[in-house]
Amino acid sequence: MLGQIQQLDSSLERAVEAYDLANVKLAHIKHDLSVNTHNLVVAKRSLKNAQRELSSRLVDLYTSEGQDSSLAVLLGSSSLDDLLSKMDAVDRVSQQDSLVLRQVTFFRTEVQHRQRELKHAHAEQIQVVAERAAARASIQSQLSQRRALLSSIHNQIAQLRIQEQQRQAELQRELQQRLAAQNATAGQNALAQTVGVAPTPPIGPAPPPSNGGVVAIAEHYLGTPYVWGGASPAGFDCSGFTMYVYAQVGVSLPHNAAAQYGYGSPVSRGSLAPGDLVFFDGLGHVGIYVGGNSFIHAPHTGDVVKISSLTGWYASTYVGARRL
């Protein structure tokens, strides 16, 4: 039964990530729609102005009685200098007419292009909204299944929760000890540099310079409930948690585990350092490595932000890591 629940949690997490990805796509589409709508208005206004200018020029040509034609210039010239001057004027007028015509053609094409872009964006928006609705329906259905399974093994779940609370307390103590040791080492090294003494070697793996505060920030949210689609201290899902934590140190990430895997640089399993993002289950889950073969994450519905070991199911579904 517990195996079924774990499989359901994995499937549920994938549905949540699909929902998050649809929201990311939808935000991009809304931005594109806004930009294209504005550009279409500008293009239409420019086309109208160019057409007005072309119409005015056509009227001028029609009412000029041919006075700027080459023949009229030739017959009406009083000297060679007069002829060259008038021919130059005719050439400039001809170039202006060509420019106006090109502007009309360009802006008409631009309007048609923007209209096609808007039509495509609207169609894509409809599709993404449908994808998000399907993901939401899948989540709600799986949540119902999960509640039914949990109710059938209520006593066993209660005992497991007690054990997990004890385990979390121990993992948190270990993490705080590592952070304290690293901070102490950093303080000693700063003092040593001041007085010209060789720095003390670090105890355990030191966090990368850019990610030094990430683990401490992540630890602050231990116990925060899992909320699908959540990306705030009121509740997190897995990618919402990593996105929120990294935003605190000025790093912007998308709200989707698979998309986050495209950021930073790859890190081998043996070179993991605190602050690295670790990915599981076909990029359906993400957490933050904290050292000691452990990571902090928002696991699944019904759980809270906690520390887990890179063993068991997480080891078997491990995909890779990225350093930001």
The predicted-structure confidence for 100-125, as pLDDT tens digits, reads as follows: 667 667 777 777 777 787 777 777 77
Confidence band for 46, pLDDT divided at 50, 70 and 90: confident
The predicted-structure confidence for 155-193, as pLDDT tens digits, reads as follows: 566 666 677 777 778 887 887 777 777 667 655 555 556
Distance of CA 37 to the CA centre of its chain: 23
Residue 130: the pLDDT is: 78
**What's this model's pTM, rounded to 2 decimal places?**
0.53
Residue 132 CB neighbours (<10 A): 18
Residue bearing the bigger pLDDT, 47 or 257: 257
